[in-house]
Structure 1
Amino acid sequence: MSVSTDLVPPPTARTAPAAGVVPLRRPGRWISAAVVLVVLAAVVRSVITNDAFQWGVVAEYLTAEVVLRGLGLTLWLTVLTLVLGFALGTLLAVARLSGNPVLAAVSWGYVWIFRSVPMLVQLLFWFNIGALYPTLSLGVPFGPDFVSISSTNLIGPLAAVIIGLTLHEAAYAAEIVRGGVISVEQGQVEAALALGMGRGRILRRIVLPQAMRSIIPAAGNALIGTLKGTSVVSVLAVQDLLFSVQLIYNRNYLVIPLLLVATTWYVVVTSVLSVAQYHVERHYARGAARALPPTPWQRLGGRLR
Protein backbone atom coordinates (compact mmCIF):
# COMPACT_ATOMS: atom_id res chain seq x y z
CA MET A 1 0.00 0.00 0.00
CA SER A 2 1.55 3.27 -1.11
CA VAL A 3 1.06 6.64 0.60
CA SER A 4 0.72 9.72 -1.60
CA THR A 5 3.21 12.42 -0.84
CA ASP A 6 1.35 15.19 -2.65
CA LEU A 7 -0.07 16.64 0.56
CA VAL A 8 3.13 16.29 2.58
CA PRO A 9 5.26 19.42 2.41
CA PRO A 10 8.93 18.95 1.67
CA PRO A 11 11.32 18.84 4.63
CA THR A 12 12.78 22.21 3.81
CA ALA A 13 9.34 23.85 3.97
CA ARG A 14 8.56 22.25 7.34
CA THR A 15 11.83 23.15 9.00
CA ALA A 16 12.43 26.61 7.50
CA PRO A 17 12.53 29.25 10.23
CA ALA A 18 10.02 32.09 10.11
CA ALA A 19 11.38 35.21 8.49
CA GLY A 20 11.96 38.04 11.01
CA VAL A 21 10.25 41.39 10.50
CA VAL A 22 12.81 44.15 10.08
CA PRO A 23 11.41 47.58 11.04
CA LEU A 24 11.81 50.33 8.51
CA ARG A 25 14.62 52.69 9.41
CA ARG A 26 13.63 56.34 9.59
CA PRO A 27 16.75 58.42 10.26
CA GLY A 28 15.01 61.61 9.18
CA ARG A 29 12.55 61.28 12.06
CA TRP A 30 15.32 61.18 14.67
CA ILE A 31 17.32 63.94 13.01
CA SER A 32 14.29 66.28 12.90
CA ALA A 33 13.48 65.44 16.55
CA ALA A 34 17.06 66.27 17.59
CA VAL A 35 16.95 69.58 15.71
CA VAL A 36 13.63 70.55 17.31
CA LEU A 37 14.91 69.68 20.80
CA VAL A 38 18.06 71.77 20.28
CA VAL A 39 16.04 74.77 19.10
CA LEU A 40 13.57 74.35 21.98
CA ALA A 41 16.39 74.16 24.51
CA ALA A 42 17.93 77.34 23.08
CA VAL A 43 14.61 79.19 23.34
CA VAL A 44 14.01 78.05 26.93
CA ARG A 45 17.55 79.03 27.91
CA SER A 46 17.10 82.45 26.32
CA VAL A 47 13.83 83.07 28.17
CA ILE A 48 15.24 81.98 31.54
CA THR A 49 18.58 83.77 31.36
CA ASN A 50 17.42 87.04 29.75
CA ASP A 51 17.30 89.63 32.53
CA ALA A 52 14.93 91.83 30.51
CA PHE A 53 12.05 89.51 31.36
CA GLN A 54 12.47 90.36 35.08
CA TRP A 55 10.95 87.15 36.41
CA GLY A 56 11.23 88.43 39.97
CA VAL A 57 8.82 91.27 39.14
CA VAL A 58 6.52 88.78 37.40
CA ALA A 59 6.40 86.62 40.55
CA GLU A 60 5.76 89.70 42.69
CA TYR A 61 2.73 90.91 40.72
CA LEU A 62 1.32 87.53 39.72
CA THR A 63 -0.93 87.37 42.78
CA ALA A 64 -1.40 91.10 43.31
CA GLU A 65 -4.89 92.05 44.45
CA VAL A 66 -5.65 94.27 41.46
CA VAL A 67 -4.51 91.52 39.06
CA LEU A 68 -6.66 88.88 40.77
CA ARG A 69 -9.67 91.21 40.63
CA GLY A 70 -9.12 91.69 36.92
CA LEU A 71 -8.76 87.94 36.46
CA GLY A 72 -12.03 87.37 38.29
CA LEU A 73 -13.86 89.85 36.05
CA THR A 74 -12.36 88.22 32.96
CA LEU A 75 -13.56 84.78 34.05
CA TRP A 76 -17.00 86.15 34.94
CA LEU A 77 -17.36 87.83 31.55
CA THR A 78 -16.23 84.65 29.79
CA VAL A 79 -18.74 82.39 31.54
CA LEU A 80 -21.61 84.86 31.23
CA THR A 81 -20.92 85.49 27.56
CA LEU A 82 -20.66 81.78 26.80
CA VAL A 83 -23.92 80.89 28.59
CA LEU A 84 -25.96 83.76 27.12
CA GLY A 85 -24.33 83.43 23.70
CA PHE A 86 -25.04 79.72 23.36
CA ALA A 87 -28.58 80.14 24.71
CA LEU A 88 -29.31 82.74 22.02
CA GLY A 89 -27.27 80.81 19.45
CA THR A 90 -29.31 77.65 20.03
CA LEU A 91 -32.52 79.58 19.36
CA LEU A 92 -30.99 81.00 16.20
CA ALA A 93 -29.89 77.53 15.06
CA VAL A 94 -33.38 76.11 15.63
CA ALA A 95 -34.87 79.02 13.70
CA ARG A 96 -32.39 78.47 10.86
CA LEU A 97 -33.31 74.77 10.64
CA SER A 98 -37.05 75.34 10.92
CA GLY A 99 -39.39 75.24 7.96
CA ASN A 100 -40.46 78.83 8.55
CA PRO A 101 -38.81 80.92 5.81
CA VAL A 102 -39.11 84.16 7.81
CA LEU A 103 -37.36 82.71 10.89
CA ALA A 104 -34.70 81.06 8.72
CA ALA A 105 -34.03 84.33 6.86
CA VAL A 106 -33.84 86.40 10.05
CA SER A 107 -31.47 83.88 11.64
CA TRP A 108 -29.24 83.85 8.55
CA GLY A 109 -29.20 87.66 8.47
CA TYR A 110 -28.27 87.88 12.15
CA VAL A 111 -25.36 85.49 11.71
CA TRP A 112 -24.21 87.31 8.59
CA ILE A 113 -24.22 90.76 10.22
CA PHE A 114 -22.61 89.88 13.54
CA ARG A 115 -19.92 87.68 11.99
CA SER A 116 -19.06 90.44 9.53
CA VAL A 117 -18.53 93.27 12.04
CA PRO A 118 -15.41 93.08 14.27
CA MET A 119 -16.00 92.66 17.98
CA LEU A 120 -14.28 95.93 18.88
CA VAL A 121 -16.50 97.87 16.48
CA GLN A 122 -19.60 96.28 18.01
CA LEU A 123 -18.50 97.22 21.52
CA LEU A 124 -17.90 100.82 20.48
CA PHE A 125 -21.33 100.97 18.81
CA TRP A 126 -23.09 99.72 21.95
CA PHE A 127 -21.08 102.07 24.14
CA ASN A 128 -22.18 105.02 21.98
CA ILE A 129 -25.76 103.85 21.45
CA GLY A 130 -26.99 107.06 23.06
CA ALA A 131 -25.67 109.04 20.08
CA LEU A 132 -27.71 106.88 17.69
CA TYR A 133 -30.90 106.63 19.77
CA PRO A 134 -31.07 109.37 22.40
CA THR A 135 -34.49 108.14 23.50
CA LEU A 136 -35.80 104.58 23.76
CA SER A 137 -39.56 104.16 23.73
CA LEU A 138 -42.09 101.35 23.90
CA GLY A 139 -45.40 101.69 22.11
CA VAL A 140 -47.38 100.92 18.99
CA PRO A 141 -45.33 100.96 15.76
CA PHE A 142 -46.07 104.22 13.90
CA GLY A 143 -48.38 105.12 16.78
CA PRO A 144 -48.26 106.58 20.30
CA ASP A 145 -45.48 105.70 22.78
CA PHE A 146 -46.38 104.32 26.19
CA VAL A 147 -42.95 104.47 27.87
CA SER A 148 -40.00 106.65 26.91
CA ILE A 149 -36.58 106.84 28.60
CA SER A 150 -33.31 108.59 27.85
CA SER A 151 -30.54 106.25 26.69
CA THR A 152 -27.67 108.71 27.20
CA ASN A 153 -26.48 107.09 30.42
CA LEU A 154 -28.50 103.90 30.19
CA ILE A 155 -25.73 101.64 28.88
CA GLY A 156 -22.44 101.94 30.75
CA PRO A 157 -19.12 100.34 29.80
CA LEU A 158 -19.82 97.00 31.53
CA ALA A 159 -23.34 96.71 30.08
CA ALA A 160 -22.02 97.53 26.61
CA VAL A 161 -19.37 94.83 26.99
CA ILE A 162 -21.91 92.19 28.05
CA ILE A 163 -24.33 93.04 25.24
CA GLY A 164 -21.62 93.24 22.58
CA LEU A 165 -19.83 90.03 23.58
CA THR A 166 -23.08 88.08 23.92
CA LEU A 167 -24.46 89.11 20.53
CA HIS A 168 -21.11 88.45 18.88
CA GLU A 169 -20.77 85.02 20.52
CA ALA A 170 -24.36 84.06 19.61
CA ALA A 171 -23.61 84.37 15.89
CA TYR A 172 -20.78 81.83 16.10
CA ALA A 173 -22.65 79.60 18.57
CA ALA A 174 -25.59 79.39 16.15
CA GLU A 175 -23.37 77.93 13.44
CA ILE A 176 -21.69 75.55 15.91
CA VAL A 177 -25.03 74.17 17.10
CA ARG A 178 -26.44 74.01 13.57
CA GLY A 179 -23.39 72.10 12.36
CA GLY A 180 -23.73 69.61 15.21
CA VAL A 181 -27.43 69.04 14.57
CA ILE A 182 -27.09 68.44 10.83
CA SER A 183 -24.24 65.98 11.49
CA VAL A 184 -26.75 63.52 12.97
CA GLU A 185 -28.05 60.96 10.49
CA GLN A 186 -31.50 62.02 9.30
CA GLY A 187 -32.66 58.42 9.22
CA GLN A 188 -32.61 58.29 13.03
CA VAL A 189 -35.03 61.21 13.21
CA GLU A 190 -37.31 59.55 10.67
CA ALA A 191 -37.22 56.29 12.64
CA ALA A 192 -38.12 58.13 15.86
CA LEU A 193 -41.01 59.89 14.12
CA ALA A 194 -42.24 56.52 12.86
CA LEU A 195 -42.26 55.28 16.47
CA GLY A 196 -44.50 58.19 17.46
CA MET A 197 -41.94 60.31 19.34
CA GLY A 198 -42.49 64.06 19.43
CA ARG A 199 -40.00 66.42 17.84
CA GLY A 200 -39.07 67.96 21.19
CA ARG A 201 -38.27 64.57 22.68
CA ILE A 202 -36.36 63.56 19.54
CA LEU A 203 -34.25 66.70 19.86
CA ARG A 204 -33.50 66.06 23.56
CA ARG A 205 -33.02 62.28 23.52
CA ILE A 206 -31.64 61.48 20.07
CA VAL A 207 -30.29 64.50 18.20
CA LEU A 208 -28.53 66.57 20.88
CA PRO A 209 -26.65 63.68 22.61
CA GLN A 210 -25.13 62.71 19.26
CA ALA A 211 -24.65 66.29 18.09
CA MET A 212 -22.63 67.07 21.22
CA ARG A 213 -19.73 65.04 19.80
CA SER A 214 -19.46 67.66 17.06
CA ILE A 215 -20.47 70.65 19.19
CA ILE A 216 -18.04 70.20 22.12
CA PRO A 217 -14.72 70.63 20.21
CA ALA A 218 -15.97 73.76 18.45
CA ALA A 219 -17.57 75.07 21.65
CA GLY A 220 -14.28 74.55 23.49
CA ASN A 221 -12.48 76.60 20.86
CA ALA A 222 -15.17 79.28 21.16
CA LEU A 223 -14.76 79.34 24.94
CA ILE A 224 -11.01 79.82 24.72
CA GLY A 225 -11.47 82.43 22.00
CA THR A 226 -13.97 84.30 24.17
CA LEU A 227 -11.56 84.22 27.11
CA LYS A 228 -8.85 85.86 25.03
CA GLY A 229 -11.34 88.10 23.24
CA THR A 230 -12.37 89.75 26.51
CA SER A 231 -9.06 91.59 26.42
CA VAL A 232 -10.57 94.06 23.93
CA VAL A 233 -12.88 95.40 26.66
CA SER A 234 -9.90 97.30 28.05
CA VAL A 235 -10.57 99.99 25.41
CA LEU A 236 -13.79 100.82 27.32
CA ALA A 237 -11.89 101.08 30.63
CA VAL A 238 -13.48 97.89 31.96
CA GLN A 239 -11.00 96.57 34.52
CA ASP A 240 -10.36 93.08 33.20
CA LEU A 241 -7.05 91.24 33.47
CA LEU A 242 -5.30 93.20 30.71
CA PHE A 243 -6.58 96.58 31.89
CA SER A 244 -5.45 95.76 35.44
CA VAL A 245 -1.85 95.17 34.40
CA GLN A 246 -2.00 98.26 32.21
CA LEU A 247 -2.93 100.31 35.27
CA ILE A 248 0.15 98.99 37.05
CA TYR A 249 2.72 99.46 34.29
CA ASN A 250 1.41 102.96 33.55
CA ARG A 251 2.65 103.83 37.05
CA ASN A 252 5.93 101.87 37.30
CA TYR A 253 6.76 101.56 33.55
CA LEU A 254 7.54 97.84 33.89
CA VAL A 255 5.74 96.96 30.69
CA ILE A 256 7.32 93.61 29.77
CA PRO A 257 7.03 91.86 33.17
CA LEU A 258 3.44 93.06 33.65
CA LEU A 259 2.47 91.79 30.20
CA LEU A 260 4.07 88.49 31.18
CA VAL A 261 1.82 88.43 34.26
CA ALA A 262 -1.27 88.69 32.04
CA THR A 263 0.18 86.14 29.61
CA THR A 264 0.85 83.67 32.42
CA TRP A 265 -2.72 83.85 33.71
CA TYR A 266 -4.17 83.49 30.20
CA VAL A 267 -2.00 80.38 29.64
CA VAL A 268 -2.98 78.86 33.00
CA VAL A 269 -6.72 79.38 32.50
CA THR A 270 -6.59 78.20 28.88
CA SER A 271 -4.74 75.04 29.94
CA VAL A 272 -7.35 74.26 32.59
CA LEU A 273 -10.15 74.77 30.06
CA SER A 274 -8.37 72.52 27.55
CA VAL A 275 -8.16 69.71 30.11
CA ALA A 276 -11.86 70.13 30.95
CA GLN A 277 -12.74 70.09 27.25
CA TYR A 278 -10.77 66.86 26.78
CA HIS A 279 -12.70 65.05 29.51
CA VAL A 280 -16.06 66.37 28.28
CA GLU A 281 -15.23 65.09 24.79
CA ARG A 282 -14.42 61.66 26.25
CA HIS A 283 -17.77 61.66 28.07
CA TYR A 284 -19.76 62.28 24.90
CA ALA A 285 -17.59 59.85 22.89
CA ARG A 286 -19.12 56.90 24.76
CA GLY A 287 -21.07 54.74 22.37
CA ALA A 288 -19.36 56.15 19.29
CA ALA A 289 -16.47 53.66 19.61
CA ARG A 290 -16.05 50.24 21.16
CA ALA A 291 -13.46 51.56 23.59
CA LEU A 292 -12.56 55.08 24.65
CA PRO A 293 -9.11 56.28 23.60
CA PRO A 294 -6.57 56.18 26.44
CA THR A 295 -5.77 59.34 28.33
CA PRO A 296 -2.26 60.83 28.09
CA TRP A 297 -1.42 59.38 31.53
CA GLN A 298 -2.63 55.94 30.44
CA ARG A 299 -0.51 56.11 27.29
CA LEU A 300 2.53 57.18 29.31
CA GLY A 301 2.00 54.37 31.82
CA GLY A 302 1.65 51.85 29.00
CA ARG A 303 4.93 52.94 27.45
CA LEU A 304 6.73 52.80 30.77
CA ARG A 305 5.42 49.28 31.39
Structure 2
Amino acid sequence: MILERLSGAFLLNCELFFWTLVFSLPLGLVVAFGSMSRCAPLRGAVKTFVWIIRGTPLMLQIIVIYLGPGLMGFNNPWPSGSNGRLVAAVVAFAINYACYFSEIYRGGIEAVPKGQTEAGQVLGMTKTQIFFKVTLLQVIKRILPPMGNEIITLVKDTSLANTIANKEIIMMAKEYSAKGLIWPLFSTAIFFLVFVGALTLLLNWAEKKMDYFRC
Protein backbone atom coordinates (compact mmCIF):
# COMPACT_ATOMS: atom_id res chain seq x y z
CA MET A 1 0.00 0.00 0.00
CA ILE A 2 2.76 2.43 0.96
CA LEU A 3 4.82 1.54 -2.11
CA GLU A 4 1.77 2.10 -4.29
CA ARG A 5 1.29 5.57 -2.86
CA LEU A 6 4.99 6.34 -3.26
CA SER A 7 4.85 5.14 -6.87
CA GLY A 8 1.84 7.35 -7.50
CA ALA A 9 3.64 10.33 -5.98
CA PHE A 10 6.72 9.65 -8.13
CA LEU A 11 4.52 9.97 -11.21
CA LEU A 12 4.22 13.66 -10.34
CA ASN A 13 8.03 13.92 -10.37
CA CYS A 14 8.06 12.22 -13.77
CA GLU A 15 5.30 14.47 -15.10
CA LEU A 16 7.14 17.58 -13.94
CA PHE A 17 10.38 16.29 -15.48
CA PHE A 18 8.69 15.58 -18.82
CA TRP A 19 6.85 18.90 -19.17
CA THR A 20 9.91 20.87 -18.07
CA LEU A 21 11.97 19.34 -20.87
CA VAL A 22 9.18 19.84 -23.42
CA PHE A 23 9.08 23.59 -22.73
CA SER A 24 12.61 24.42 -21.60
CA LEU A 25 14.58 22.81 -24.46
CA PRO A 26 13.06 24.96 -27.26
CA LEU A 27 12.73 28.00 -24.98
CA GLY A 28 16.41 27.70 -24.10
CA LEU A 29 17.32 27.91 -27.79
CA VAL A 30 15.21 31.07 -28.17
CA VAL A 31 16.93 32.60 -25.12
CA ALA A 32 20.33 31.63 -26.54
CA PHE A 33 19.58 33.44 -29.80
CA GLY A 34 18.46 36.46 -27.76
CA SER A 35 21.73 36.50 -25.81
CA MET A 36 23.67 36.41 -29.11
CA SER A 37 21.51 39.03 -30.83
CA ARG A 38 23.17 41.91 -32.63
CA CYS A 39 20.60 44.21 -31.03
CA ALA A 40 22.42 45.48 -27.94
CA PRO A 41 19.32 46.35 -25.85
CA LEU A 42 17.77 42.92 -26.51
CA ARG A 43 21.05 41.14 -25.84
CA GLY A 44 21.53 43.07 -22.59
CA ALA A 45 17.98 42.41 -21.40
CA VAL A 46 18.22 38.69 -22.11
CA LYS A 47 21.63 38.35 -20.45
CA THR A 48 20.38 40.23 -17.39
CA PHE A 49 17.34 37.96 -17.14
CA VAL A 50 19.52 34.85 -17.44
CA TRP A 51 21.87 36.24 -14.78
CA ILE A 52 18.96 36.80 -12.37
CA ILE A 53 17.47 33.34 -12.91
CA ARG A 54 20.82 31.56 -12.61
CA GLY A 55 21.78 33.64 -9.57
CA THR A 56 18.71 32.97 -7.43
CA PRO A 57 17.49 29.68 -5.89
CA LEU A 58 14.98 27.63 -7.85
CA MET A 59 12.98 27.17 -4.65
CA LEU A 60 12.55 30.95 -4.37
CA GLN A 61 11.52 31.19 -8.01
CA ILE A 62 8.83 28.53 -7.50
CA ILE A 63 7.38 30.44 -4.54
CA VAL A 64 7.46 33.79 -6.33
CA ILE A 65 5.84 32.43 -9.49
CA TYR A 66 3.09 30.66 -7.55
CA LEU A 67 2.34 33.30 -4.90
CA GLY A 68 3.69 36.45 -6.57
CA PRO A 69 0.68 37.40 -8.72
CA GLY A 70 -1.72 37.19 -5.75
CA LEU A 71 0.62 39.07 -3.40
CA MET A 72 0.96 41.87 -5.96
CA GLY A 73 -2.81 42.24 -6.23
CA PHE A 74 -3.30 40.49 -9.57
CA ASN A 75 -5.78 37.71 -10.25
CA ASN A 76 -4.27 34.29 -9.60
CA PRO A 77 -3.42 32.88 -13.06
CA TRP A 78 -3.11 29.30 -11.85
CA PRO A 79 -5.95 26.75 -11.85
CA SER A 80 -7.34 25.83 -8.45
CA GLY A 81 -6.13 22.88 -6.44
CA SER A 82 -3.27 20.53 -7.19
CA ASN A 83 -3.40 21.20 -10.94
CA GLY A 84 -2.64 24.87 -10.32
CA ARG A 85 0.34 24.03 -8.13
CA LEU A 86 1.68 21.65 -10.78
CA VAL A 87 1.26 24.20 -13.58
CA ALA A 88 3.06 26.85 -11.51
CA ALA A 89 5.89 24.42 -10.80
CA VAL A 90 6.22 23.55 -14.50
CA VAL A 91 6.41 27.26 -15.41
CA ALA A 92 9.08 27.90 -12.76
CA PHE A 93 11.14 24.86 -13.77
CA ALA A 94 10.83 25.61 -17.49
CA ILE A 95 12.05 29.19 -17.08
CA ASN A 96 14.89 28.16 -14.79
CA TYR A 97 16.17 25.33 -16.95
CA ALA A 98 15.67 27.29 -20.18
CA CYS A 99 18.20 29.81 -18.87
CA TYR A 100 20.73 27.10 -18.05
CA PHE A 101 20.15 25.34 -21.36
CA SER A 102 20.54 28.66 -23.21
CA GLU A 103 24.12 28.99 -21.98
CA ILE A 104 24.88 25.45 -23.10
CA TYR A 105 23.33 26.15 -26.51
CA ARG A 106 25.25 29.41 -26.82
CA GLY A 107 28.54 27.73 -25.98
CA GLY A 108 27.89 24.96 -28.51
CA ILE A 109 26.90 27.36 -31.30
CA GLU A 110 29.85 29.67 -30.72
CA ALA A 111 32.25 26.70 -30.66
CA VAL A 112 31.45 25.81 -34.28
CA PRO A 113 34.20 27.27 -36.52
CA LYS A 114 33.03 30.36 -38.40
CA GLY A 115 34.76 29.06 -41.50
CA GLN A 116 32.06 26.44 -41.91
CA THR A 117 29.35 29.11 -41.87
CA GLU A 118 31.29 31.13 -44.42
CA ALA A 119 31.69 28.04 -46.61
CA GLY A 120 27.92 27.53 -46.52
CA GLN A 121 27.39 31.15 -47.58
CA VAL A 122 29.80 30.69 -50.48
CA LEU A 123 27.74 27.70 -51.61
CA GLY A 124 24.65 29.90 -51.66
CA MET A 125 22.97 28.44 -48.58
CA THR A 126 20.60 30.58 -46.53
CA LYS A 127 21.22 31.20 -42.82
CA THR A 128 18.46 28.72 -41.96
CA GLN A 129 20.00 26.03 -44.17
CA ILE A 130 23.44 26.66 -42.72
CA PHE A 131 22.09 26.35 -39.16
CA PHE A 132 20.17 23.11 -39.71
CA LYS A 133 22.50 21.40 -42.18
CA VAL A 134 25.92 22.58 -41.02
CA THR A 135 25.80 23.91 -37.46
CA LEU A 136 23.08 21.93 -35.69
CA LEU A 137 24.63 18.44 -35.81
CA GLN A 138 27.93 19.76 -34.49
CA VAL A 139 26.15 21.69 -31.76
CA ILE A 140 24.20 18.60 -30.65
CA LYS A 141 27.37 16.55 -30.36
CA ARG A 142 29.15 19.27 -28.37
CA ILE A 143 26.31 19.96 -25.95
CA LEU A 144 25.21 16.39 -25.17
CA PRO A 145 27.50 15.87 -22.13
CA PRO A 146 26.71 19.18 -20.34
CA MET A 147 23.06 18.94 -21.36
CA GLY A 148 22.95 15.41 -19.94
CA ASN A 149 24.28 16.68 -16.60
CA GLU A 150 21.56 19.33 -16.42
CA ILE A 151 18.86 16.81 -17.33
CA ILE A 152 20.00 14.44 -14.58
CA THR A 153 20.03 17.36 -12.13
CA LEU A 154 16.46 18.14 -13.20
CA VAL A 155 15.35 14.65 -12.12
CA LYS A 156 16.48 15.36 -8.57
CA ASP A 157 15.31 18.97 -8.56
CA THR A 158 11.72 17.88 -9.16
CA SER A 159 11.55 17.23 -5.42
CA LEU A 160 11.57 21.03 -4.93
CA ALA A 161 7.99 21.06 -6.20
CA ASN A 162 6.90 20.22 -2.65
CA THR A 163 7.79 23.82 -1.77
CA ILE A 164 4.27 24.77 -2.90
CA ALA A 165 2.65 21.58 -1.56
CA ASN A 166 2.90 19.40 -4.65
CA LYS A 167 2.71 15.86 -3.26
CA GLU A 168 5.74 14.41 -4.96
CA ILE A 169 7.53 11.34 -3.64
CA ILE A 170 9.76 12.96 -1.01
CA MET A 171 6.88 14.89 0.51
CA MET A 172 4.90 11.65 0.66
CA ALA A 173 7.81 9.83 2.30
CA LYS A 174 8.19 12.61 4.89
CA GLU A 175 4.55 12.15 5.86
CA TYR A 176 5.26 8.49 6.63
CA SER A 177 8.46 9.36 8.51
CA ALA A 178 6.39 11.65 10.75
CA LYS A 179 4.39 8.51 11.66
CA GLY A 180 7.57 6.68 12.70
CA LEU A 181 8.41 4.88 9.42
CA ILE A 182 11.92 5.51 8.13
CA TRP A 183 12.10 3.04 5.23
CA PRO A 184 9.89 5.07 2.85
CA LEU A 185 12.56 7.81 2.88
CA PHE A 186 15.22 5.33 1.80
CA SER A 187 12.95 3.80 -0.81
CA THR A 188 12.66 7.18 -2.53
CA ALA A 189 16.38 6.93 -3.27
CA ILE A 190 15.72 3.71 -5.20
CA PHE A 191 13.10 5.43 -7.35
CA PHE A 192 15.51 8.24 -8.21
CA LEU A 193 18.48 5.89 -8.74
CA VAL A 194 16.53 3.71 -11.17
CA PHE A 195 15.26 6.74 -13.09
CA VAL A 196 18.69 8.38 -13.25
CA GLY A 197 20.31 5.05 -14.17
CA ALA A 198 17.95 4.55 -17.12
CA LEU A 199 18.44 8.16 -18.18
CA THR A 200 22.24 7.78 -17.99
CA LEU A 201 22.13 4.73 -20.24
CA LEU A 202 19.96 6.63 -22.72
CA LEU A 203 22.31 9.63 -22.75
CA ASN A 204 25.36 7.38 -23.18
CA TRP A 205 23.64 5.69 -26.12
CA ALA A 206 22.90 9.08 -27.68
CA GLU A 207 26.54 10.14 -27.31
CA LYS A 208 27.72 6.94 -29.00
CA LYS A 209 25.27 7.49 -31.84
CA MET A 210 26.88 10.85 -32.44
CA ASP A 211 30.40 9.40 -32.56
CA TYR A 212 30.21 9.11 -36.32
CA PHE A 213 30.18 12.89 -36.54
CA ARG A 214 33.65 14.28 -35.83
CA CYS A 215 33.74 17.91 -34.77
TM-score by length of 1: 0.66
Residue 188 of structure 1: how far off its partner (Å): 0.2
The 5 A counterparts of 1:68-217 are 68-135=7-74, 150-151=75-76, 156-217=84-145
Give the letter aligned to residue 177 of structure 2: Y
Match of 2:147 in 1: 219
- Counterpart residue identity of residue 36, structure 2: L
Q: Do the aligned partners of 1:120 and 1:232 also contact (CA within 8 Å) in 2?
A: yes
2: CA distance, partners of 1:210 / 1:174: 16
Dislocated runs of 4+, deviation >6 Å: none
Secondary structure of the residue aligned to 2:38 is coil
Q: d(CA) in 2 for partners of 1:67 and 1:173?
A: 30
Offset of residue 268 of structure 1: 0.7
The runs of 5 or more residues in structure 1 that have no matched partner are 1-59, 136-149, 290-305
**Hey, what's the Cα distance between the residues in 2 that align with 1:179 and 1:229?**
24
TM-score by length of 2: 0.92
Q: Does 1:240 align with 2:168?
A: yes
- Change over 3 Å in CA distance of 1:152–1:197 after alignment to 2: closer
Q: Is the aligned partner of 1:229 residue 2:154?
A: no
Work out the CA distance in 2 between the residues paired with 1:246 and 1:180.
41
Tell me how far 1:130 sits from its aligned partner: 3.2
Q: Which amino acid aligns with 1:237?
A: A
Q: 3-state SS of the aligned residue for 2:212?
A: coil
Instruction: Please list, as runs of the form range in 1=range in 2, the aligned pairs for 1:258-277 lying within 5 A after superposition.
Output: 258-277=184-203
SS in 2 for 1:128: helix
How many residues align? The count is 212
- The answer to whether the aligner puts 1:282 opposite 2:208 as a matched pair is yes
Please give the alpha-carbon distance, in whole angstroms, between the structure 1 residues aligned to 2:20 and 2:56.
Answer: 18
Higher relative contact order structure (alpha carbons within 8 Å, sequence separation ≥ 6): 2
The amino acid that maps onto 1:196 is G
Cα displacement (A) at 1:235: 2.2
Structure 2, unmatched stretches of 5+, are: none
Supply the distance in 2 between the matched residues of 1:163 and 1:152 (Cα, whole angstroms): 12
On the 8 A contact 1:184/1:207 being kept in 2, the answer is yes
Deviation at 1:242, TM superposition (A): 1.0
Show CA shifts across 1:261-297 (max 9, x none): 10011111101100000010111221318xxxxxxxx
Could you give the per-residue CA deviations for residues 125-182 of structure 1, whole angstroms, max 9, x where no partner exists?
Answer: 11211344322xxxxxxxxxxxxxx228657322221111111111101001111111
**SS at the partner of 1:127?**
helix
Percent of aligned positions that are identical: 25
CA offsets 1:192-242 (integer angstroms, 9 cap, x no match) = 011110111111111110011111111111111011011111122101121
Residue 254 of structure 1 corresponds to 181
Q: Is contact 1:231-1:240 (8 Å) kept?
A: yes
SS across alignment from 1:68: helix
The CA RMSD measured in Å over matched residues stands at 1.8
Q: Tell me how far apart the structure 2 counterparts of residues 176 and 222 of structure 1 sit (CA, whole Å).
A: 10
- Partner Cα separation in structure 1 for residue 131 and residue 195 of structure 2: 33
Counterpart CA distance in 2 for 1:182 and 1:130 is 37
